[in-house]
Amino acid sequence: MEDQRVKHLELIQGVTNRVAQNSFAYKAWMVSLVAAIFVLAMRDGGGYVWVALIPTLAFWGLDAYYVRQERLFRRLYDAVREADEAGLGASPFTMDTSPYEVEAGTWWATCWSKSVAWLYGPMTVLILVVACLGCACG
């Protein structure tokens, strides 16, 4: 039974790693796209800096989704790690994270967590300030 537990933990860890990589990739894509939009907008007079809000808000939501999924799988990992023999026998190799939905918090709460909002919040404010300054100066 212990070999099954180790294999189950490896499966959960693999999913957790992929989810974390997606979260990191979304942050990198958002910064790259916003920077490109800023460069193009400033070259053309800055009139459409507002467009940078679209990828920022979209990636904010996607990143929060993946951070929440990561939290769910970490809770599943802990449950499997701490389960006794009887608990593992009931549903071996389960990847069901629904019992941990309340513990992980809602998607909306995850949007405002430190691990997500620290990048997207200031970026949104920066876009709004640059857009407002562009409108005021232009």
The string of pLDDT tens digits covering residues 55-102 is 999 999 999 999 999 999 999 999 988 887 656 556 778 899 999 999
113 Cβ contact list (under 8 Å, min separation 6):
64, 67, 105
Distances (CA, A) of 71 to 41, 45, 111, 133: 37, 43, 13, 39
The string of pLDDT tens digits covering residues 60-70 is 999 999 999 99
Could you tell me the pTM of the whole model?
0.86
Q: Where are the domains of the chain?
A: 2-137
E strand or H helix at 13: helix 2-43
131 Cβ contact list (under 8 Å, min separation 6):
46, 49, 50
Averaged pLDDT score across all residues of the chain: 89
Q: CA 77 to CA 100: how far, in whole Å? A: 11
Q: Are 70 and 113 in contact (CB under 8 A)?
A: no
